Amino acid sequence: MPDVLRVAVPVPLPQLFDYRAPPGETVAAGCRVVVPFGRNKRVGIVVGHAATSEVPAGRLKTIDAVLDDAPLIGAELLATLQWASRYYQHPLGAVLETALPVGMRQAKPLPFEGERALTLAAAGRAVAADPPLRRGTRVRTLFERLVDGPLAYATLDETLPGWRDSASALRQRNFVETIALSTATLPTARVTGPTLTDEQRAAIDAVAAEHGRFRAFLLEGVTGSGKTEVYLQLIERVLAAGGQALMLVPEIGLTPQTLRRFRERFGASVFALHSGLAEGERSRAWLAAARGDAGVILGTRSAIFAPLPRLAIIAVDEEHDASYKQQDGFRYSARDLAIVRARALGVPVVLGSATPSLETLANVEAERYTRVRLSARPGSARAPTLRVVDMRRSRLVHGMSPELVTAVRDCLARGEQALIFRNRRGYAPVLTCHDCGWHADCERCAKPMTLHRARARLVCHHCGAERNVPAQCPECAAQTLAPQGHGTERLEEALVDLFPQAPVVRIDRETTRRRGALEALFDSLGPDKPGIYVGTQMLAKGHDLPNLTLVAILGVDDGLYSADFRASERLGQLVVQVSGRAGRASKPGSVLLQTHHPDHALLGTLLRGGYRGLAASLLAERRDAQWPPYAHLALLRAEAKQLQQTEKFLRDAAEAAGMPDGIDLAGPIPAPMPLRAGMHRAQILLSSAERARLQHFLPAWIDALRALASARHVRWSVDVDPIDL
């Protein structure tokens, strides 16, 4: 009997595909193979072997080629991917599609080893902070790109045409040198860390004591308490022992500044891995990890799938961040998979946050995770004071209470910086007619469109639809269309108007579209001049702002009365995270929360007990209500052009489910947005006190759903551990 290869093919089909190995060849699991698939060729991954196949011998095809001599995906990673495929109920082929960079999914030989790269030489690094090169020149641009680490010639060819001339100029001054990337591996610590505080030392000792063993830690420490320093020194030890480290950060956390901080410590062995990279760079980082050349992978969500044969520690910064959960396709949680992988590998994993998720806190409570704390900020930095500003009956100035405006004025007068936080981009969330009450809605979502004044467009933030701003009311022809409410664009305008002498820097998705724009904006205000930042949650993290002493948070009320059971947790996290920007250096900071509901219980709890107090009360609520983390959820979402199609499918789905033991089934119920982009949406929520019950129930149910006739008219998906209901 010929050896049958079981191959995962990156297509959205649930099954593996069987192929015959070429006569006389054995192909190891984890190797890539080119297979005939329908009328095409595909690159698949060998997942295992079988003696027989259900495919009749005569129809079993033979693979075309084997692409790797040795497994590209090691046994541990393959096992993790298979686990994730089962747990998140997603086809293995499609899981691989998420896990593998595009370059690895093509029937091309891998880039050869020892690729040439340009890097800063010692003389260049010495002047990296302030290079003696004229701004705006190509030479300077090249130099600045290299500050972040070595760049392969291929990458430079792609992204900086004509770079070779600039490189010659830099080479003449001994600022740069050429290296082979695969030799750029040894961690050459360039900057040593500060002397640790006692708490930092205790945290590091606790984690390091578990070297070579699985153990999950929660590193709980307010913003600025030195968590990153703890990760850095833990990683340093791991590298010294010959291991590799994986460090996950949220999407907005991976700023060039973070990367620079890691590279200052560990030199060229740090590779970034995130979706913003050019394909070539992504493949290169991935391969460097797989070959063991990368000491540290610093990446966002999908970096959890990096192949790291000597992985000895995983750290997840800001573990509560929603960006760790993928919200479409393969809906995995990178934070949770970090635990799974660490357990499989037998290595410690550190989840860090100033505002840990309730899930993680419950795991600490249940003694599955060990908590280590950083309670104080190093040096003289103190936690900011939090105050509620009652905006009822006060005459608002551009959406801001007089008290708040005064606080900003005083802050500027002291020569310090203020941050106005509003998690709404655009000019105004609604455009209405004063005469008849008409407002501009997105027809495809039945929600107000946001006015973007500078672009003179109405934009739907739910589906991206855009249209022109009408000159008059389409309903009554009155010329009295007026923006309602305040987005960041409008606040910027107001602040410029109120404080004409102060620089105002707006930071949101609009102003930071270009690569590097975020850093440039922070730099434009500089560390010590007075000025005002206004923006969305992009401001919650990133750059150190030592002269920032006032944070004003607008729009908290949106989060106080939301239907989402996680809204309170999120609001608490956001308030604490944004507040953490104030008073990070020696100057004390203060935080103002502007609200119409100063007596709301959540605000009271937060003010009195901080995030810890809030979390304790929210956990008690969740326990009473049997919500996560004290229950486990899976959500079946469906959408169709017609409401009846969605409803029919979900009714059939509920019927197919029957009355599963130990599982509550709610629905069909409307989705939080019953209409989006023209699709009618609804869902069924499954809940169980035991994770295993859901896991046992889901596969057969999903098979049944696939077979439903009504499934043909809907788009549906199952989300295990959903974070948006």
* Candidate ranges 146-154, 218-226, 243-251, 390-398; the one touching ligand ADP (CB under 6 A): 218-226
Binding residue (CB under 6 A) for ligand ADP from 228, 255, 355, 688: 228
Min dist. Cβ of residue 379 to ligand ADP (A): 5
The binder of 49, among ligand ADP, Zn ion, none, by C-beta within 5 to 8 A per type, is none
DSSP 373: E
Binding residue (CB under 5 A) for Zn ion from 454, 476, 620, 700: 476
* Six token digits for residue 157: 């060819």
Number of residues that bind ligand ADP (CB under 6 A): 16
* Six token digits for residue 310: 């000597």
The binder of 436, among ligand ADP, Zn ion, none, by C-beta within 5 to 8 A per type, is Zn ion
Min dist. Cβ of residue 641 to Zn ion (A): 15
What crossing angle do the helices spanning 75-87 and 92-99 adopt, rounded to 10°? 120
Min dist. Cβ of residue 289 to ligand ADP (A): 24
Omega prior to 668 cis, within 30 of 0: yes
* Candidate ranges 226-234, 391-399, 527-535, 600-608; the one touching ligand ADP (CB under 6 A): 226-234
Counting Cα atoms < 13 Å in the Cβ hemisphere of 27 gives 32
* Candidate ranges 441-449, 623-631, 641-649, 653-661; the one touching Zn ion (CB under 5 A): 441-449
* Six token digits for residue 197: 């505080």
* Candidate ranges 39-47, 224-232, 620-628, 666-674; the one touching ligand ADP (CB under 6 A): 224-232
Letters for 608-647 (x = contact with Zn ion by CB under 5 A, - = none) are: ----------------------------------------
**How far is Cα 496 from Cα 494, in angstroms, rounded to an integer?**
5
**How far is Cα 698 from Cα 632, in angstroms, rounded to an integer?**
13
- Measure CA 365 to chain center: 26
By CB under 6 A, the residues from 531 to 560 that bind ligand ADP are: 544
* Candidate ranges 164-172, 413-421, 432-440, 579-587; the one touching Zn ion (CB under 5 A): 432-440
Residue type, 127: V
Burial (CB count within 10 angstroms: exposed 0-12, middle 13-18, buried 19+), residue 589: buried
Instruction: For 6, list phi and psi in degrees, rounded to 5.
Output: -100, 120
**How far is Cα 260 from Cα 304, in angstroms, rounded to an integer?**
21
| 253 touches ligand ADP (CB under 6 A) | no
| 379 touches ligand ADP (CB under 6 A) | yes
Alpha-carbon Rg for the chain, nearest whole angstrom, is 27
| 224 touches ligand ADP (CB under 6 A) | yes
| 279 touches Zn ion (CB under 5 A) | no
The binder of 442, among Zn ion, ligand ADP, none, by C-beta within 5 to 8 A per type, is Zn ion
Binding residue (CB under 5 A) for Zn ion from 125, 335, 462, 506: 462
The binder of 196, among ligand ADP, Zn ion, none, by C-beta within 5 to 8 A per type, is ligand ADP
Instruction: For 569, list phi and psi in degrees, rounded to 5.
Output: -60, -45
| 196 touches ligand ADP (CB under 6 A) | yes
Widest CA span in the chain: 85
DSSP 333: B
**How far is Cα 343 from Cα 173, in angstroms, rounded to an integer?**
49
| 433 touches Zn ion (CB under 5 A) | yes
Pick between residue 352 and residue 448 the one whose CB is nearest to Zn ion: 448
Query: Residue 66 in contact with residue 20, Cβ under 8 Å?
Result: no
Pick between residue 465 and residue 560 the one whose CB is nearest to Zn ion: 465
Q: What is the DSSP string of 600-651?
A: -HHHHHHHHHHHHHHHHHHHHHHHHHT-TTSSEEEEEEEEESSHHHHHHHHH
Binding residue (CB under 6 A) for ligand ADP from 115, 199, 229, 359: 229
DSSP three-state, residue 285: helix
Q: What is the DSSP string of 397-441?
A: BTTB-HHHHHHHHHHHHTT-EEEEE-S--SSBSEEEETTT--B-E
By CB under 6 A, the residues from 639 to 678 that bind ligand ADP are: none
Binding residue (CB under 6 A) for ligand ADP from 6, 125, 227, 648: 227
Please report, in range form, the residues annotated as the binding site.
433, 436, 442, 445, 460, 463, 473, 476
Binding residue (CB under 6 A) for ligand ADP from 12, 194, 329, 699: 194
Min dist. Cβ of residue 580 to ligand ADP (A): 7
Binding residue (CB under 5 A) for Zn ion from 296, 362, 445, 657: 445
Please report, in range form, the residues annotated as the binding site for Zn(2+).
433, 436, 442, 445, 460, 463, 473, 476
Min dist. Cβ of residue 630 to ligand ADP (A): 29
Min dist. Cβ of residue 455 to Zn ion (A): 17
**How far is Cα 39 from Cα 45, in angstroms, rounded to an integer?**
19
Q: What is the 3-state secondary structure (H, E, C) of 16-78?
A: CEEEECCCCCCCCCCCEEEEEECCEEEEEEEEEEECCCCCCHHHCCECCEECCCCCCCCHHHH
- Closest Cα to residue 191, out of 129, 274, 119? 129
β-strand pairing of 548-553 with 590-595: parallel
Letters for 392-431 (x = contact with Zn ion by CB under 5 A, - = none) are: ----------------------------------------
Q: Which residues bind ligand ADP (CB under 6 A)?
A: 194-197, 200, 221, 223-229, 378-379, 544
